[in-house]
Amino acid sequence: MDHAADAHRTDLMTITRFVLNEQSKHPESRGDFTILLSHIVLGCKFVCSAVNKAGLAKLIGLAGETNVQGEEQKKLDVLSNEVFIKALVSSGRTCILVSEEDEEATFVDLSKRGKYCVVFDPLDGSSNIDCGVSIGTIFGIYMIKEGGEPSVEDVLQPGKNMVAAGYCMYGSSCTFVLSAGRGVNGFTLDPSLGEFILTHPDIKIPKKGKIYSVNEGNAKNWDGPTAKYVEKCKFPKDGSPKSLRYIGSMVADVHRTLLYGGIFLYPADKKSPNGKLRVLYEVFPMSFLMEQAGGQAFTGKQRALDLVPKNIHERSPIFLGSYDDVEEIKALYAAEEQK
């Protein structure tokens, strides 16, 4: 790789240019999606800057409030939530917003209303802020039916109806991964330009991976198929065992799975019989990205994107990653059902 030549490249594909190029392929497009996305990107840049300064700005301390999930909110959570809500409302392209931090959905005033619903987790993995582990923002975008007053029902759709999904990871570099239903692309923030540059075009997850990612601290509460699968990862009858990698920040774990292959598991267990991760703004966007990259996402009962949530903070188990690895866990659940 010629780093000197790379340093002087002038044909950089920024995320704005990339999305405008995609838009030009659809002559009927009015640019609404492009405008919405530019506001999401701006929100991510702001949060990235705040995360980098968290220790200096004394933003790490607890905000002294508990969110709807019963988790203590970090000040950064609150800040990130406000940033995204303001950015999304001011885009003039949204009508309903669902955030992990807010108990109720936010309905945008008529004067600023558009045709998109955005579901998002403004700062996923925020319990890791203090120790410098990668955290991130996850989002999914739906389009609502034309006409009529928007309602929560407009958001309670299966994940397969999403028009786009993505995440932004704030780690050693700031990485923005996006799919609008035509493959998955990754962009990295160049701090000197303040622009996201295309660094991972057309991401494809390997068909089978060598890594499994799960919180083994919950092993005593797992169901049979999950326990059998993890046992198989550690003590395979043939071949090498899989490596365990678990960060505990969904964005970071899924990002690694997407690039290197393998499987990410967050099963239901005796403590959380409905699973722990939220359907709308964690399970759906990540499942959407996995499928677009050639992988699979499974809930233990069905394809994850076919799930129809009954409320905005519903939870679900999830197994997602390389196609062949998810096939194995599906086979174990099918065998369990036949007993």
**43 plus 77 within the same structural domain:** yes
Tell me the average pLDDT across 14-32.
85
**23 plus 127 within the same structural domain:** yes
Confidence of residue 54 (pLDDT cuts 50, 70, 90): confident
Identify the residue with better confidence: 10 or 313: 313
Residue in the block written with tokens 């410098």: 132
User: 92-146 pLDDT, tens per residue?
Assistant: 999 999 999 999 999 999 999 999 999 999 999 988 887 888 999 999 999 987 7
Confidence of residue 1 (pLDDT cuts 50, 70, 90): very low
**121 plus 221 within the same structural domain:** no
- pLDDT exceeds 90 at position 218: yes
Tell me what the pLDDT averaged over the chain comes to: 91
Percent of the chain whose pLDDT exceeds 90:
76
Instruction: Using the 3D structure, point to which of 154, 173, 200 is the last residue of a domain.
Output: 200
Residue 205 domain flag: no
CB-CB contact of 135 with 258 (8 Å): no
What span, in angstroms and rounded, lies between the C-alpha atoms of 119 and 185?
A: 20
Tell me the average pLDDT across 248-258.
97
Number of domains in the chain: 2
What is the model's pLDDT at position 60?
57
Residue 116, strand partner residues = 94, 143
Confidence of residue 24 (pLDDT cuts 50, 70, 90): confident
| CATH number, position 132 | 3.30.540.10
Tell me the average pLDDT across 38-65.
80
**34 plus 171 within the same structural domain:** yes
Highest mean pLDDT among 112-116, 294-298, 333-337: 294-298
Confidence of residue 64 (pLDDT cuts 50, 70, 90): low
Contacts of 25 by beta carbon, 8 Å cutoff, 6+ apart: none
Instruction: Using the 3D structure, point to which of 137, 170, 200 is the last residue of a domain.
Output: 200
Residue 119 domain flag: yes
User: 231-244 pLDDT, tens per residue?
Assistant: 999 999 988 999 99
Residue 322 domain flag: yes
What is the model's pLDDT at position 279?
98
User: 160-175 pLDDT, tens per residue?
Assistant: 999 999 999 999 999 9
| CATH number, position 248 | 3.40.190.80
Instruction: Using the 3D structure, point to which of 152, 171, 200 is the last residue of a domain.
Output: 200
Contacts of 237 by beta carbon, 8 Å cutoff, 6+ apart: none
User: 72-84 pLDDT, tens per residue?
Assistant: 655 888 899 999 9
Cα of first residue to Cα of last residue in the chain, in angstroms, is 55
- pLDDT exceeds 90 at position 62: no
What is the model's pLDDT at position 5?
52
Residue 118 domain flag: yes
- pLDDT exceeds 60 at position 2: no
Residue 292 domain flag: yes
For residue 256, count other CB atoms closer than 10 A to its CB. 20
**127 plus 249 within the same structural domain:** no
**130 plus 219 within the same structural domain:** no
**225 plus 253 within the same structural domain:** yes
**179 plus 228 within the same structural domain:** no
- Structural domain boundaries, residue 256: 211-338
**60 plus 135 within the same structural domain:** yes
Closest CA to 307 of 277, 331, 327, 283: 283
What span, in angstroms and rounded, lies between the C-alpha atoms of 31 and 37?
A: 10
- pLDDT exceeds 70 at position 56: no
What span, in angstroms and rounded, lies between the C-alpha atoms of 67 and 22?
A: 38
**174 plus 58 within the same structural domain:** yes
